[in-house]
């Protein structure tokens, strides 16, 4: 049996490393399926994946669906994922996916490409400081599925114990063969670089950008969507939208291309 490789996210992946990663995903999803398929079928669940976050913030992924996990990693969703960026999640041992915004990019993709309409995440905190998130999705759009998933919590907990027992070699082998890439620069570190305000000068009527406006601008010109920016900066989507509207008004521009040009010309990007 081929054992999976632990995946730790980085800022850029070469094609060779991408191919190696995809090969490992193909290998691991069959191993996870072997453990989980009968349980998922019995309880009419469409997908199961596990995200492990360690004390250093590194993330490891095990999933029974190769395409879902590949899509998740290719789109850099670990940068904005709730599990990766909030290991406490208010201390709860579970949460329903309905608590996420409909504009959450992961929610959108899960519905659009994998027909996942509802879901629940179970949180397991380990003595060594790692946190495991077991995610279960269902394709049934019936609103009653949310209540059914909540009633299933004891069954999910029993499955997770079995998954740990049967997957012991899987976890051991994954740790021994960790696929280490350059760590992603922390969001906190980037945000700390941003000044409290940036004065724009006479060509912009001596206005200034606030620290929050600068943070939103940083991620906007790097291709992040409005929902992604709101998750990264832990603010509502409406608040992020308002900051971006202020940036556009102060810079007197209307498109993202214009923003990128003015940012380069004004010297704002020298702070990043």
Tell whether 24 and 144 lie within a shared domain.
yes
pLDDT tens by residue, 42-72: 999 999 998 888 777 677 888 888 888 888 8
- The least confident of 25-29, 32-36, 136-140, 148-152 is 25-29
pLDDT tens by residue, 186-206: 344 444 455 566 777 777 777
Token output for 177:
């063969």
Scored b (16 or more CB within 10 A) or e, 116-147 reads bbbbbbbbbeeeeebbbbbbbbbeeeeeebbe
Average pLDDT over residues 78-94: 74
HSE-up (13 A, CA, CB side) for residue 240: 21
Helix, strand, coil percentages, rounded to 5, for the chain: 55, 15, 30
Tell whether 164 and 263 lie within a shared domain.
no
Would residue 157 count as lying in a domain? yes
pLDDT tier at 38, thresholds 50, 70, 90 = very high
Tell whether 65 and 196 lie within a shared domain.
no
pLDDT tier at 172, thresholds 50, 70, 90 = low
Model-level pTM? 0.61
**Domain of residue 250, residue span:** 187-271
Tell whether 70 and 201 lie within a shared domain.
no
Would residue 6 count as lying in a domain? no
- CATH number (domain holding residue 80): 3.30.450.80
Would residue 47 count as lying in a domain? yes
Would residue 38 count as lying in a domain? yes
- CATH number (domain holding residue 207): 1.10.10.10
Tell whether 118 and 217 lie within a shared domain.
no
Tell whether 166 and 215 lie within a shared domain.
no
Would residue 241 count as lying in a domain? yes
Tell whether 167 and 43 lie within a shared domain.
yes
User: How many domains would you assign to the chain?
Assistant: 2
Mean predicted lDDT score pLDDT of the chain: 76
């Amino acid at each position: 049996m081929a054992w999976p490789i632990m995946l730790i996210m980085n800022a850029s992946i070469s094609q060779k490393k991408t191919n190696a990663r995809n090969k490992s995903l193909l290998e691991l999803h069959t191993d996870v399926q072997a453990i989980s398929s009968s349980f998922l079928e019995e309880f009419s669940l469409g997908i199961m994946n596990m995200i492990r976050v360690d004390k250093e913030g590194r993330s490891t992924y095990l999933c029974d669906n190769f395409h879902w996990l590949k899509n998740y990693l290719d789109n850099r969703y670990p940068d904005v994922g709730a599990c990766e960026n909030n290991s406490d999640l208010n201390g709860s041992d579970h949460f329903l996916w309905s608590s996420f915004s409909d504009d959450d990019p992961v929610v959108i993709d899960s519905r659009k490409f994998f027909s996942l309409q509802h879901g629940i995440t179970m949180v397991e905190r380990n003595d060594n400081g790692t946190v495991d998130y077991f995610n279960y999705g269902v394709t049934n759009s019936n609103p009653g599925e949310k209540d059914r998933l909540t009633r299933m919590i004891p069954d999910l907990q029993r499955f997770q114990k079995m998954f740990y027992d049967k997957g012991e070699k899987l976890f051991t082998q994954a740790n021994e063969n960790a696929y280490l890439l350059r760590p992603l620069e922390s969001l906190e570190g980037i945000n700390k670089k941003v000044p409290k305000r940036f004065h724009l000068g006479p060509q912009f009527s001596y206005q200034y950008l606030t620290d929050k406006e600068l943070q939103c601008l940083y991620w906007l010109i790097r291709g992040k969507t409005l929902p992604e920016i709101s998750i990264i900066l832990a603010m509502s989507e409406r608040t992020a939208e308002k900051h971006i509207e202020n940036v556009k008004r102060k810079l007197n521009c209307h498109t993202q291309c214009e923003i990128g040009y003015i940012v380069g010309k004004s010297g704002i990007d020298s702070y990043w």
